[in-house]
Structures are given as structure tokens and as C-alpha cells.
Amino acid sequence: MEMKPRRLSIIRPDDWHLHVRDGEGMAAVLPFSARRFGRAGIMPNLKPPVTTVAQALAYRECILRVLPAGTDFDPRMFIYLTDNTSVEEVARAAQEDLVLGFKLYPAGATTNSDAGVTDIDKLHDRFEAMERSEVPLCVHGEVTDLAVDIFDRERVFIERVLVPIRRGHPALKIVLEHVTTKDGVDYVNYDRSMGSQTAATITAHHLLLNRNAIFQGGVRPHHYCLPVLKRETHRQALVAAVASGSPGFFLGTDSAPHAKHTKEAACGCAGCFTAHAGIELYAEVFAEMNALDKLEAFASFTGADFYGLPRNMETITLVEKPWLVPQSYEYGEGNTVVPLRAGEQILWQLEPSVE
């Protein structure tokens, strides 16, 4: 007798770390996220970056204009923190419900981060303003010191940057974005045990892959992302963190589309495109850990609670039914984007909604 596939219905999840770019590329990738998620935290590292509340709201309007008809997807905005961000801009952000917080990119740390922060010590008045107004600070947790091994940059960032920020600003809400190491997991757990409002997002690709994936059968540019994939021991620490059900960790895909030719290049761009299976890939991880009962809180509750937003009301249903991922998707006129698992199977799929 053939067994029926497992089905799991959960409150519609949110993606608290998403890149949708702009222009034709945005219109191509946005429907993937809109189908799966109720809300998303939109990253501001465009060219030029989104550095003010006014620019963030204008970017949001651009997103809304290209959403598929009938969708109620709700983009929430982050502002790019720079050396020149003013205390007054922090105050404006605090008054705008559609702005989630500020994103700290160390200068040169990742895609389009050239305008990032160069000296943390000069920003303490901005951190104080965020602390007073309960505006979250979200950080790309890597140092850019070339003397530091790329696989150690998260650990060193925690030691050199994050610990001093927390020491000086004990009430500041902090998110360690796309955490990749046991060091990061341990830091979040310790900080929360001390009463701090600290959390971290975790991507599906860092849960599923270790650094060997970059070199299987040759260099695999579509597995190259920043922060870079780490050792298996670190991957296991991330998996244990999400399987534990801790409210310190929530979903942030960091889906980061780049045109195929910019990834498969002499100096390829960093980023994994995962929006095509933005919740299904997580279901694989939780199923493997016999922790499907923890997926809903991780994907649908914890992030909303951290940002002080109401939880979504509608539901989605996932079915344990393998499907074959296309080799690529369209990404604007004449371009394609290669998704994670291109040409391979994903074991769970999103059940079509009933209209």
C-alpha cells in the first residue's frame, strides 16, 4: 500500500533578509517570494544604496508596482547605515512603521557594500539613538581585514565589533544576519541568556551546505556566497540551533540573485539564489532533523515577534513530494539566474493555494 506524502500546514512565513535588486531583474524574481511569504525585510545594498527613509519608501513603491496582481506581499524596508547617517535619520526611521531598522555593512564586506561603515567607533551616537528608539541594528557580521582568513571573519567580527557594540549599548536590538558559525550561535545564545535583545537569521543554504560544496567536481560559483560556507561542524551548529526551537533564531533566506554570466566569471559575484524554494529548502532541513514541529515558529512567529509585528493569519501547506529544479530562470531581458539545486530535486514543495 502506497503511503500518502506528508503534508504540513503552517502560518504563512516571513523572510526577514531578502534581496530583490531593482529593474527587470526585480520583476523576474519577486513573484517567487510573494508566493511563499507574507512579508520580507528588503536589503538596501543597491547602486546607489538606500540610505534614507525617503529612499526606502520610494524603493518600496517600486517593489509594489511590479508585484503580481492580487498579491498581498508586504515588503518592509532596511536603511543602509553609513558613516554619514544622522541621528535625525534614525529618529525618522523610528517613526516609520514600514522601516524595520538599519543594516550595517562593513565597507567592502559583500555585494555593493563600498559605501559601508569604515569606523564603528564614530557611530556610537547613532547606536544610542537606535537604542532609545528601539530601532534594530542588523549587521553583516564579517570583518574586512585582509589579514583575517575568510573563514574566520565572522568570529573576529564578533570579538572586535559586536561585543564592543553590545557592551556600550546593552538595550540595543541586534540581529546577526545570516549567521554561519558555531561562534555566532554561541554568541547569540550567551547574549540572550544575559537578557539582551539579540537574534540571528539563518539561511537555507548555510543549513544545507558546508564549504566542500564550493569545490565538488571543480569550482561551483553558484555555491559561492558571503558569508562564505563554513566547515561541517559549523553547519551542524546552525542545524542544532534551529532544531532547538530557540526564539533567538529566525528565517532569513538571503536569496541574492545575480545574472548567470556575473557568477560564472573571472571574478564572480557572491550570493545564492534561493527564492524559488524559499520555504521548501528549510522544510528539508527540519524534516531531516525530525523537527518539523519547530518549523512554524522559526519561519512564521519568531521574526515577527522580534520586530514587534503581528503574526500572519493565513496559512500555507507544504507537501513532501520531490520536484525537479530548472537549470535556470529568466532574470530580465537576455539574462538568466541559476537557482540553488539547479537540475536537482527538492524533496518538499509548496501546495498551490485554492482560490
Catalytic positions, written as ranges: 254
Q: For the CA atoms of the chain, what is the radius of gyration?
A: 19
CA proximity to 347, closest of 204, 223, 214? 204
- Cβ neighbours, 10 Å, residue 6: 13
Give Cα 273 to chain centroid, integer Å: 11
Containing 126, the helix (H) or strand (E) segment is: helix 124-133
Long-range contacts of 239-244 (CB under 8 A, 24+ apart): 239/207, 239/285, 239/289, 240/185, 241/185, 241/188, 241/189, 241/202, 242/202, 242/207, 242/285, 242/286, 242/289, 242/291, 242/294, 242/298, 243/286, 243/289, 243/291, 243/294, 244/294
What's at 340, amino acid-wise?
Answer: L
- Locate all alpha helices (DSSP H) within 177-265, ordered by sequence: 182-193, 204-208, 232-243, 260-263
In the structure grid, which three cell numbers stand for residue 306, read together? 522580534
Residues in contact with 246: Cβ distance below 8 Å, sequence separation at least 6, in sequence order:
189, 192
Residues in contact with 266: Cβ distance below 8 Å, sequence separation at least 6, in sequence order:
none
Unique residue bearing C-alpha cell 510573494? 34
- The tally of CA atoms less than 13 A away on the side-chain side of residue 94 is 17
How many whole angstroms separate alpha carbon 298 and alpha carbon 319?
A: 18
How many whole angstroms separate alpha carbon 298 and alpha carbon 247?
A: 7
Angle value at C-alpha 227, between 252 and 62, nearest 5 degrees: 50
How many whole angstroms separate alpha carbon 69 and alpha carbon 231?
A: 43
